[in-house]
Structure 1
Amino acid sequence: MKTGKQKLLIASKVLFVLFVALVIAFYIFRDAVLQQTIAKVSNEMQVEYNSSFTIKKASFNGLSGLNLSEIILVPKNADTLFKIQKLRTSVNLWHLLTGDVQLGTLEVQNGFVQLVKKGKVRNFDAFLKKDNQTELRDEKRDYAQFAYRIISKALNLIPTDMILGNLSFRLDDNGKKATINFQKLRLINKQLETSIQVQTNTVSQQWKIKGFADPRSKKADIRLVNIDTGAIKIPYLDERFNLKSSFDSIRLSIQNIERDGDELHIDGFMAIANLKLNHPKIASKDVVLKNAKFDYRFLLGSDFISIDSSSTVLLNKIKFHPYAAYETGEDTIYKLKINLPKMKAQDFIISLPDGLFTHFQGMEATGTFDYKLNFAFNQNRPNQLVFKSNLKKENLKITKYGAANLNKLSGEFMYRALIKSVLQRAVLVGAANPNYTPLEQISPYLRKSVLTTEDPSFFSHRGFITEAFKQSIVKNIRTKKFSRGASTISMQLVKNAFLSREKTVSRKLEEILLVYILENNRIVSKERMLEVYFNIIEWGPNVYGIGEASRFYFQKTPSELSLNECLYLARIIPSPKKFMYQFNDQGMLKDFAIKQESFLTSIMFRRGLLTPEDTIYKSLPILISGPAKSFIKFKIQDSTLIKVDSLANDDEFDL
């Protein structure tokens, strides 16, 4: 009777014989199998993708080597998608027999891959269609399993040794062209070295990628630098999106890709030096970030994708730990948490990217602070939005202001609105200006009306209204655009007095920081802030401040304004230059304006800001009597009717 060891030995011998037999059979019939495979792929490309796929010559080299020449893929009625003159590769035979393709070596000479768009026709559209037969819409995807499978297959297709020569990647988007030509790429003994020519309509540069890459152990550390002098300019983005961008170098390190139970961990870091961005929506100047590093730890599970809180972002001297997650368990939830540990205020100021915070340049501060943000949005329950922002400071004090000197609000200063980068006429904010109006000389009705429409909790908040922010975020997410803001009077004051009206990321970030400093360091009183606000905001075409506005519309002083006139002035603040559209051709308020006025009045009644006695004369119509009257389009009466009326009046006079 045979022992267990003897049985195991016999089984091993049988498996070895079968393996050898398979190898011999594969070797004998491999040319026929290769031609059948090419024909199958060619037929699939024709049937499924309406494309022509051809290989002029294909042959084996040794046991696992493969030589191909003139490989061409051309979609019907479109430009060639790719063409490779010569390709030599080898595969891992054992992996191939188990159904997994793993490249050993790869050599490619003279070829190109190109994406072309002409009008609305793209040469790669056929390959973007979804396979409805295999797509299971009702079945949730296991993110960890899916990502690990895709990463493993992708890494297996990266050979351990590779030589590319004159291989180009081309992009032509209706004349916006970019070509990245790998003149040389060598991956030998895990060491990567390249020589790359980049050419667009506006850029011509030589790049180099060098470093370490080991696809089998799932590790890499590579760096992209410019061979020429100057920074690396990112191609195509400038022509396509009007985004000018460049950097000195980028480094990417993948240190670990590991499956741990139901989770997938991806660890490493990314670093970039002297990143420069220029776009009208970002800032009016170049934005420069000297040094940035992201030590990342991505976690993927069956129903979530996240950046773990152990990750670290370093922006110059600013260091914080982000946590971001996308969860698809019972509900679809987006989460973001930021933990900025205690740091010196001055280190924070000097670390702000150049060009993004121009009004802070030259600012100095003492003390320290730390900051925490907690945000969560449930797509199925949007009203349960979580938004918590907490800043703790210790001995924080501004010792010197930059371009935005908030102390100027305490005294007399010259104000000039900046509209579309054009400075408007100067307006003196002070008693020497005859139109300047102290707060106590402004009609109480106007103060109450403006506070109701613009910022009901102005005297109690510290610059921001958390609930308004939450409602704004919910609506913006629902509409997928910035359709609603959460601006307080404090924010409007800072925007008008210190910043431009341009809708950029820079202006909004500066506004938030300046408002926080203004409101939390008691630089001026709330009453003074409101007084300055009333005297500088735009209230019509080339009309600034309530002194000018009351005369422009009603030929009155601000203290003489009636309730109806105050309600009108409060309502037009969002669009003062379009005030004329509030009136019909008889010079009377249109129905929509009357409804807005009634709605505002009812709110003020509910809040106890008005009494029945206040509305005794409310039924009287608004009469525009000042220079604003010339902006309203009145209906021209028939001249014959005017003459008849005149004659009738004359006869009546004679009698």
Structure 2
Amino acid sequence: MRTKKQKIFLIAKIISVLFVFIIIALFVFRDALLQKTIVQISHKMESDYDSNFSIRKAHFEGITGVEMEDVLLVPKKADTLFRIETLKTKINFWHLLTGTIQIEKLEAKNGFVQLVKNKKGRNFDAFLPKKKDTVDTGEKTNYARLVYKILNRTLNLVPTDMHLENLTLRMDDMGKKATLSLKKLQLVDKQLESTIRVQTNTFIQNWSIKGFADPRNKQTDIRFFNVDTGKIKVPYFDERFNIKSSFDSIRLNVSKIDMDSGELHVDGFTTITNFTINHPKIASKDVVIKNARFDYQFLFGENFIAIDSNSTAQLNALKFKPYVSYNNETDKIYTLKIAIPKMKAQDFISSLPEGLFTHFYGMEAAGTFDYKLDFMFNKNKPNAIVFDSKLNKENLKITKYGEANLNKLNGEFIYRAIIKNVLQRPILVGQANPNYTPLNAISPYLRKSVLTTEDPSFFSHKGFITEAFRQSIAKNIRTKKFSRGGSTISMQLIKNAFLTREKTLSRKLEEILLVYILENNRIVSKERMLEVYFNIIEWGPNVYGIGEASQFYFEKSPDQLTLNECLFLANIIPSPRNFMYQFNSEGNLKSFAVNKEKYLKNIMMRRGIIIPDDTINQMPIYVSGRANSFIKTEIKDTIQIDSTSIEEFSF
């Protein structure tokens, strides 16, 4: 009788013999299995992807090493997608036994991947994920497990010993070309070094990547920079999206990827120096960020993805704590929180990116402030939006203005509108202009009508209406475009008096900051702001200010305007150059325009802004001024001529 210990030893011996037998069998038949696998892959590529796949020569080296020559993938009726002359790889044997593919070594030489889009189509379409009809099982994705699985598989495919030479990525998008030629890349003893040549239709550069890379311990610290003089230019995007961007260097650090108590933590930092970007939707000039750093802590849970509030973002001297999350545990909720700790106002101004806030050049400020933003959007309840913005200041004041000198609103100045980058005629804002109209010389009906349509709480708010911002954000998210702005009269005044009408990120950000400074530093009284507003806004084609508008439409002075005329003028402010389309061929307001006036009148009645007596004896508006020439009317012949009279004058 064998003892228990002897039985265990015997079983272990049998297993070891079987293991050796399996290894020998694999070693003997492995080349046949390799060729069979290649044939199966080739059939699959042809049947599923309509492509030809071939390997001219393939064989094993050692137990887990494979060497291949002339690997080729060509979609039928399209350009070659992939080709490589020599490919050698070695897989970790022990991980292979557990069903995990982990590459230990990779050598590749002389090859290319090319992505082509032309009139015939794209040569990679067959390999893009296809939309499938899915059945909602009610099961939610566990984000932590999914991302951890993807990261593990990806990092296992990164070899610890890598030598790449003369490999090229080619992109041709309808003639927009970019070629990235990897002259050399090697990863030895966790040290990464590479040289890349970049060529497009517009420039040629040589880049380099150097640093530390340890895929098995999930850590890296690499730097990306230009070997030549000058900045690194980002290829392809300039021609494809009209985005011109460049930078001196980028550093990427990943210090930890760890699953803990069902949550995945990814920590590290990234930096960029002298980042420059230019796009018509951002600003009219180059936007430059000299130094930026992001110390990140990404969190992935069962039901959420987040940038943790322990993360820190730095923009020049400005530092702030961001928190961004998406949570679908119950509803789909998006959250954004930003906290700027106490800092000097001058440091904030000095940290603004060049080119994004041109009207702040030369501005100086004293005092300190801190700021908090709390934003939350529930996709299932889009109207229950949270938008809470708080700024705490200490002795905050502007000691010197930049290009936008807000003090000019208190005196006479020349106003020139800019429309489609064309400077319009000069308008003197002051008593020397015969069309200039003081606030007390403007019909009270017009003041009431315009305040009702444009900014009912103008005299009580400080430049912004929080609820309007909430509604604006909610609508913009729903429509997936900037369809509503929520501008106050203060914002319109700043936009007209100091900024252009271009719809850029720069212009909107400058508008917000200038309005805050204007309203919170008591630079200009509300009455003066409203008076200037009435005297500079556009009220028709080449018509500026209420003095010109009242004559242009009704040949009256602003204090003589009737209620209906004021309702009309208030309603055309959003699109004054198109006022003529509100009239029919007989010169009367169309039904939709009449209904707009009635709607505005009813709002003013409900709010007690006007009373029933104000509406008595109100006549329909009659355009008698120069505006009448813009209205397309039909002239009717009202003279009746008797045929007998014609005969009397006949000869």
In the superposition, the TM-score normalised over structure 2's length comes to 0.97
Partner of 1:604: 604
Residues 1:372 and 2:368 aligned together: no
Partner of 2:640: 644
Partner of 1:184: 184
Structure 1 residues 105 and 646, CA gap change in structure 2 (3 angstroms): farther
State how far apart, in whole Å, the 1-side matches of 2:577 and 2:561 are. 20
Partner of 2:475: 475
Structure 1 residues 4 and 569, CA gap change in structure 2 (3 angstroms): farther
State how far apart, in whole Å, the 1-side matches of 2:583 and 2:477 are. 35
Structure 1 residues 649 and 441, CA gap change in structure 2 (3 angstroms): farther
Structure 1 residues 648 and 494, CA gap change in structure 2 (3 angstroms): farther
Partner of 1:111: 111
Partner of 1:570: 570
Per-residue Cα deviation, 1:21-62 (whole angstroms, up to 9, x for no partner): 222111111011111111111111122212111111100111
State how far apart, in whole Å, the 1-side matches of 2:4 and 2:406 are. 88
Residues 1:448 and 2:444 aligned together: no
Tell me the CA shift for residue 505 of structure 1.
0.1
Residues 1:633 and 2:612 aligned together: no
Partner of 1:238: 238
What are the equivalent positions in structure 2 for 1:329-478 lying under 5 Å apart? 329-478=329-478
Using the TM superposition, name which of 45-54 and 293-302 deviates more.
45-54
Amino acid at match of 2:606: R
State how far apart, in whole Å, the 2-side matches of 1:136 and 1:222 are. 42
Per-residue Cα deviation, 1:135-159 (whole angstroms, up to 9, x for no partner): 8664311111111111111111111
Residues 1:65 and 2:61 aligned together: no
Partner of 1:531: 531
Amino acid at match of 1:238: D
Amino acid at match of 1:439: L
Per-residue Cα deviation, 1:202-231 (whole angstroms, up to 9, x for no partner): 121000000011111111111111011100
Amino acid at match of 1:634: T
Tell me the CA shift for residue 308 of structure 1.
0.4
Tell me the CA shift for residue 13 of structure 1.
3.9
What are the equivalent positions in structure 2 for 1:297-336 lying under 5 Å apart? 297-336=297-336
Amino acid at match of 1:222: I
Structure 1 residues 10 and 375, CA gap change in structure 2 (3 angstroms): farther
Per-residue Cα deviation, 1:429-465 (whole angstroms, up to 9, x for no partner): 1111111111011000000000000000101111011
Structure 1 residues 131 and 511, CA gap change in structure 2 (3 angstroms): closer
Amino acid at match of 2:237: L
Amino acid at match of 1:219: Q
Using the TM superposition, name which of 595-604 and 38-47 deviates more.
38-47
State how far apart, in whole Å, the 2-side matches of 1:503 and 1:131 are. 36
Tell me the CA shift for residue 2 of structure 1.
7.1
State how far apart, in whole Å, the 1-side matches of 2:246 and 2:642 are. 76
State how far apart, in whole Å, the 2-side matches of 1:417 and 1:195 are. 51
Amino acid at match of 2:413: F
State how far apart, in whole Å, the 2-side matches of 1:244 and 1:261 are. 44
What are the equivalent positions in structure 2 for 1:555-594 lying under 5 Å apart? 555-594=555-594
In the superposition, the TM-score normalised over structure 1's length comes to 0.96
Tell me the CA shift for residue 418 of structure 1.
1.4
For the residue of structure 2 that corresponds to 1:313, the secondary structure is strand
Partner of 2:255: 255
Task: Work out the percentage of aligned pairs sharing the same amino acid.
Answer: 66
For the residue of structure 1 that corresponds to 2:416, the secondary structure is strand
Per-residue Cα deviation, 1:106-158 (whole angstroms, up to 9, x for no partner): 11011011111113711111111337499866431111111111111111111
Amino acid at match of 2:631: I
Partner of 1:44: 44
Amino acid at match of 1:343: M
Structure 1 residues 648 and 446, CA gap change in structure 2 (3 angstroms): farther
State how far apart, in whole Å, the 1-side matches of 2:251 and 2:166 are. 24
Using the TM superposition, name which of 13-22 and 442-451 deviates more.
13-22
What are the equivalent positions in structure 2 for 1:488-567 lying under 5 Å apart? 488-567=488-567
Partner of 1:148: 148
State how far apart, in whole Å, the 2-side matches of 1:595 and 1:396 are. 47
State how far apart, in whole Å, the 2-side matches of 1:357 and 1:340 are. 19
Structure 1 residues 445 and 3, CA gap change in structure 2 (3 angstroms): farther
Amino acid at match of 1:624: V
State how far apart, in whole Å, the 2-side matches of 1:119 and 1:203 are. 25
State how far apart, in whole Å, the 2-side matches of 1:646 and 1:70 are. 99
Structure 1 residues 649 and 576, CA gap change in structure 2 (3 angstroms): farther
State how far apart, in whole Å, the 2-side matches of 1:5 and 1:332 are. 59
Aligned alpha-carbon RMSD (Å)? 1.9
Per-residue Cα deviation, 1:252-295 (whole angstroms, up to 9, x for no partner): 01110001121111000010000000000000000000000000
State how far apart, in whole Å, the 1-side matches of 2:19 and 2:495 are. 76
Tell me the CA shift for residue 177 of structure 1.
0.7
Amino acid at match of 1:623: Y
State how far apart, in whole Å, the 2-side matches of 1:444 and 1:495 are. 25
Amino acid at match of 1:169: L
Tell me the CA shift for residue 307 of structure 1.
0.3
Amino acid at match of 1:536: I
Residues 1:139 and 2:152 aligned together: no
State how far apart, in whole Å, the 1-side matches of 2:389 and 2:644 are. 74
Using the TM superposition, name which of 347-356 and 422-431 deviates more.
422-431
For the residue of structure 2 that corresponds to 1:382, the secondary structure is coil
Structure 1 residues 649 and 531, CA gap change in structure 2 (3 angstroms): farther
Partner of 1:653: none
State how far apart, in whole Å, the 2-side matches of 1:491 and 1:287 are. 23
State how far apart, in whole Å, the 2-side matches of 1:543 and 1:644 are. 40
Structure 1 residues 552 and 231, CA gap change in structure 2 (3 angstroms): same
Using the TM superposition, name which of 4-13 and 90-99 deviates more.
4-13
Structure 1 residues 5 and 377, CA gap change in structure 2 (3 angstroms): farther
State how far apart, in whole Å, the 2-side matches of 1:410 and 1:313 are. 39
How many residues end up aligned between the 2 structures?
647
State how far apart, in whole Å, the 2-side matches of 1:13 and 1:421 are. 86
Structure 1 residues 19 and 572, CA gap change in structure 2 (3 angstroms): same
State how far apart, in whole Å, the 1-side matches of 2:93 and 2:622 are. 91
Structure 1 residues 131 and 515, CA gap change in structure 2 (3 angstroms): closer
State how far apart, in whole Å, the 2-side matches of 1:285 and 1:6 are. 83
State how far apart, in whole Å, the 2-side matches of 1:431 and 1:120 are. 67
Tell me the CA shift for residue 632 of structure 1.
0.8
Structure 1 residues 508 and 3, CA gap change in structure 2 (3 angstroms): farther
Tell me the CA shift for residue 97 of structure 1.
2.0
State how far apart, in whole Å, the 2-side matches of 1:8 and 1:263 are. 40
State how far apart, in whole Å, the 2-side matches of 1:2 and 1:306 are. 60
Amino acid at match of 1:376: M
State how far apart, in whole Å, the 2-side matches of 1:137 and 1:123 are. 35
State how far apart, in whole Å, the 2-side matches of 1:177 and 1:113 are. 14
Partner of 2:649: none
Amino acid at match of 1:57: K
State how far apart, in whole Å, the 2-side matches of 1:120 and 1:622 are. 60
Per-residue Cα deviation, 1:291-315 (whole angstroms, up to 9, x for no partner): 0000000000111111000000000
Amino acid at match of 2:372: K
For the residue of structure 2 that corresponds to 1:383, the secondary structure is coil
Tell me the CA shift for residue 3 of structure 1.
7.3
State how far apart, in whole Å, the 1-side matches of 2:32 and 2:265 are. 43
What are the equivalent positions in structure 2 for 1:22-33 lying under 5 Å apart? 22-33=22-33
Structure 1: gaps (5+ residues): 651-655
Structure 1 residues 2 and 288, CA gap change in structure 2 (3 angstroms): farther
Structure 1 residues 576 and 179, CA gap change in structure 2 (3 angstroms): same
Amino acid at match of 2:493: L
